[in-house]
């Protein structure tokens, strides 16, 4: 996979960072984008380069379609290709539905769903011309069940809609050598949730433990590989059996 290029949104920390480091170790060049925290992003960029590859840490608000266009253009200008788009940016907040604000409601869609549409449209022609590409989205375990979620309603709806967008992109791009798949994590110790909160959920996870970043990375590497060429439009539940 040497010389392949990956663009990872939200790649400065958590799942995005872990995937970036694994790709860099395999010889990929990696561009990560971040919205805040330049020090953390630059530290991740340095860690990527320490793997012996090229890396970029680029500020970008992926809720802005013009910023997305500039981001893709910069990566393509720098390396002349784009082989994988990994959509890891996906903030959430917990608030009772009837107390949610209009701004908070829009934020869930502007940052979880819309960027995949913007970036998907931008990278699709690049990957189709190469006749090879991988787009990976991140959903939410059991979002396809469409059950009530009073505390994370907007986030849950955005992740449910993301599955439809993922499958549609997969169908549209399937004949071009481009695959589009989703990973839907359950409880993963990625640094985004308090450890005590995660441990409270262990009793509900058939596997008996909270997932680690390595669990997500191994799944992502497979879906981004040549070996997964016939996997398209899939949604991989990564939850240790939680919710089944």
For residue 120, is it within any domain? yes
**Range in 65-74, 80-89, 193-202 the model is least confident about:** 193-202
For residue 105, is it within any domain? yes
For residue 243, is it within any domain? no
Confidence at 30, pLDDT banded by 50, 70, 90: very high
**Range in 135-144, 166-175, 196-205 the model is least confident about:** 196-205
| Mean pLDDT within 48-67 | 97
The full DSSP string for the chain is: -TT-EEEEETTTSHHHHHHHHHHHHTT-EEEEEESS-HHHHHHHHHHHHTTTS-EEEEE--TTSHHHHHHHHHHHHHHHS---EEEE---------GGG--HHHHHHHHHHHTHHHHHHHHHHHHHHHHHT-EEEEEE--TTGGG----TTSHHHHHHHHHHHHHHHHHHHHHGGGTEEEEEEEE-SB-SSSS-HHHHHHTGGG-TTSS-B-HHHHHHHHHHHTSGGGTT--S-EEEESTTTT-
Q: Does 234 have pLDDT greater than 90?
A: yes
| Mean pLDDT within 48-53 | 96
Longest pairwise C-alpha distance within the chain: 50
Closest CA to 54 of 84, 35, 75, 73: 75
For residue 244, is it within any domain? no
The full DSSP string for 14-34 is: HHHHHHHHHHHHTT-EEEEEE
For residue 70, is it within any domain? yes
- What CATH number does the domain containing 194 carry? 3.40.50.720
- pLDDT at residue number 244: 86
Structurally, the chain folds into a number of domains equal to: 1
- pLDDT at residue number 2: 63
pTM score, whole prediction: 0.96
| Mean pLDDT within 87-103 | 96
- pLDDT at residue number 105: 98
- pLDDT at residue number 74: 98
Residue the block writes with tokens 């596997």: 207
Confidence at 191, pLDDT banded by 50, 70, 90: confident
Domain region containing 222: 5-238
Average pLDDT, the chain: 96
| Mean pLDDT within 161-189 | 97
- pLDDT at residue number 195: 80
């Amino acid at each position: 996979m040497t010389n392949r290029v990956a663009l990872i949104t939200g790649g400065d920390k958590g799942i995005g960072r872990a995937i970036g480091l694994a790709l860099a170790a395999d010889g990929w060049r990696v561009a990560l984008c971040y919205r805040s925290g330049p020090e953390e992003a630059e530290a991740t960029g340095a860690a990527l380069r320490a793997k012996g590859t090229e890396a970029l840490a680029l500020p970008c608000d992926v809720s802005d379609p013009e910023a997305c266009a500039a981001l893709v253009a910069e990566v393509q200008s720098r390396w002349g290709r784009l082989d994988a788009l990994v959509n890891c940016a996906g903030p959430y907040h917990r608030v009772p539905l009837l107390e949610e604000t209009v701004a908070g409601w829009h934020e869930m869609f502007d940052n979880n769903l819309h960027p995949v549409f913007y970036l998907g449209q931008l990278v699709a022609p690049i990957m189709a011309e190469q006749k090879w590409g991988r787009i990976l989205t991140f959903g939410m375990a059991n979002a396809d069940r469409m059950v009530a979620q009073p505390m994370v309603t907007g986030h849950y709806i955005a992740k449910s809609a993301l599955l439809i967008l993922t499958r549609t992109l997969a169908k549209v791009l399937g004949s071009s050598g481009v695959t589009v798949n989703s990973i839907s994590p359950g409880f993963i110790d990625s640094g985004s949730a308090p450890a005590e909160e995660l441990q409270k959920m262990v009793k509900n996870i058939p596997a008996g433990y909270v997932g680690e970043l390595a669990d997500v990375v191994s799944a992502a590497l497979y879906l981004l590989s040549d070996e997964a060429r016939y996997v398209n439009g899939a949604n991989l539940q990564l939850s240790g059996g939680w919710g089944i």
